[in-house]
Amino acid sequence: MTKVLLDTDPGIDDAQAIAYAIAHPDIELVGLTTVFGNASIDITTANALKLLDYFGASEVPVSKGAAVPVVQAPRPHAYFVHGDDGIGNLDMPPSPRDTSVFPAPEFIMNQASLHRGEITLVAVGPLTNIANALELDPSLPKKVKELIIMGGTVDEPGNVSPLAEANFLGDPHAADRVLSQSWPVTIIGLDVTHQIMLTDTHLASLRDGAGKTGQLLWDSSRFYVDFYTQSGAAKGGAEPACAMHDATALVYVHERDSFGTTHGPARVIEDGVAVGQLAIDRKHYDYSLDHWEGRPPTYAAMTVDAEHVRRAFLDTIIKGHRV
C-alpha cells in the first residue's frame, strides 16, 4: 500500500482527486491537510471533512492549515471557478467531525516521522503548508518518500496570467522555498493537465457508474465545466469539458510510465510581472546571472499519455468507489 498524505484546497478538481485516492486499491490515505486557495481556509477545511464523510472515508483525519501565504498579501479566492462553497454550490450539510488537534505543518511532520521514508506527499493547492512544515522540521525532505506537486507550468501558458499557474501564484514564496530543498520532487503542471480534459461524456460515466460518489462528482463539475466553457479554457473539442488537474498528480503515483519529464534546478518568481512563474534551468549553460545555481533538480512532467491517465482515473473510481 502506498501511504499518501494529500495537501489540498477543495476545490472541485480536488474533490475528484480525493474520490480517486479513496477508491484506489493501493492507496492508503493517511490524511488530508487543508490550505486556502480555491476558497477560504474555513471553507476548504469544511469541504475536506464533508467530502470524506460523503465518500465513505470518515476514518481519514483532516488537519487545518494555512489561511494566508507565507509572505505575499492574500489574493482573492477562486469562487468564480469553484463556486461560493468551493465545490460547485452543492449545499452539502456540514460534517459532524472535528479536525485533528495538530495544525497542518505539525501533522505533516508527525506523519513523516511516524512512517519514515513511506509517505508520498501530494500537494494540490498553494504550497504554504509544505513551506511551513519545512520551517518546523528542516529534515522533512529526508523523511518523506517523495513530493508530487500539482502546480506551475513550464511551456504551456499559465491559467492566471500568461506565465503563472494558480497554485504557484497563490504562494510563490512558499513554492520557491519548497523547490530549493533536496528531495525527490515531481511537478505535474499545466503542461500535462491541460492535455487531460474530462468531457461531459467522461463525467457522465462517473455519474452513471460510480454510485453516490460519481453523482457528486457530476453535480460539482457542472459549475467548473461552465467556467471552462465560458472562459474558453476548455480543450475538450465540441463537448463541454474541464481539465483534470489535481487527480493527475495522484494518478502519477501508480502510472508514472505514462509521463515524460524534464528536469533541472527550479525557481518560482516571487513578484513583478512574472509573479508565480515556474522557471526550470533545462539547458545548464554557464549563465552569468545564475539564481539557479546550487539548487537540486526538480522534475516536471512535460508529456503524457492523456487517454491512459484519464482511463485510469475513471476506471479506478468506477471500480473502487465505496458509496
Q: Is 124 in the site for Ca ion (CB under 5 A)?
A: yes
Which CB, 22 or 188, lies closer to ligand BDR? 188
CB of 11 to Ca ion, least distance (A): 4
Closest distance between Ca ion and the C-beta of residue 72, in Å? Answer: 18
Task: Tell me how far apart the alpha carbons of residues 154 and 300 are, in angstroms, rounded to a whole number.
Answer: 8
In 3-state terms the chain splits into helix, strand, coil percentages (rounded to 5) of 40, 20, 40
DSSP state of 241: E
Q: How far is the CA of 155 from the CAs of 43, 96, 183, 254, 298, in angstroms?
A: 32, 44, 23, 25, 15
b/e burial code for range 105-117 (CB count within 10 A of at least 16 → b): bbbbbbbbeebee
Q: Which residue is nearest to ligand BDR (CB)?
A: 166
How far is C-alpha 109 from the chain's CA centre? 19
List the one residue from 34, 38, 128, 277 that touches ligand BDR (CB under 6 A). Answer: 38
* Nearest approach, Cβ of residue 78 and ligand BDR (Å): 5
Q: Contact between 176 and ligand BDR (CB under 6 A)?
A: no
State in angstroms the smallest separation of the CB of 260 from ligand BDR: 20
Task: Tell which phi-psi region holds residue 56, choosing left (phi > 0), alpha (psi between -120 and 50) or beta.
Answer: left
158 binds Ca ion (CB under 5 A): no
- Where residue 192 falls (left for φ over 0; alpha for ψ -120 to 50; beta otherwise) is alpha
Amino acid making up residue 65: G
- Residue 65 within binding range of ligand BDR, rule CB under 6 A: no
Is 125 near Ca ion (CB under 5 A)?
yes
Q: Each residue of 193-208: b (16+ CB within 10 Å) or e?
A: bbbbbbbbebbebbbe
Is 172 a binding residue for ligand BDR by CB under 6 A? The answer is no
Using DSSP, state whether 149 is helix, strand or coil: strand
Catalytic residue ranges: 245
166 binds, among ligand BDR, Ca ion, none (CB under 5 to 8 A by kind): ligand BDR
Q: Which of 4, 7, 14, 34 binds Ca ion (CB under 5 A)?
A: 14
* Per CB under 6 A, 200 contacts ligand BDR: no
Exactly one of 32, 60, 78, 179 binds ligand BDR (CB under 6 A); which one?
78
Shortest separation between residue 22's beta carbon and ligand BDR, angstroms: 17
150 binds ligand BDR (CB under 6 A): yes
Nearest CA to 66 out of 226, 156, 145, 174 is that of 174
Asked if residue 11 binds Ca ion (CB under 5 A), the reply is: yes
Residue 264 CA to residue 313 CA, distance in Å, equals 29
Residues binding Ca ion (CB under 5 A): 9, 11, 14, 124-125, 246
Residues binding ligand BDR (CB under 6 A): 11, 13-14, 38, 78, 81, 124-125, 150, 159, 165-167, 245-246
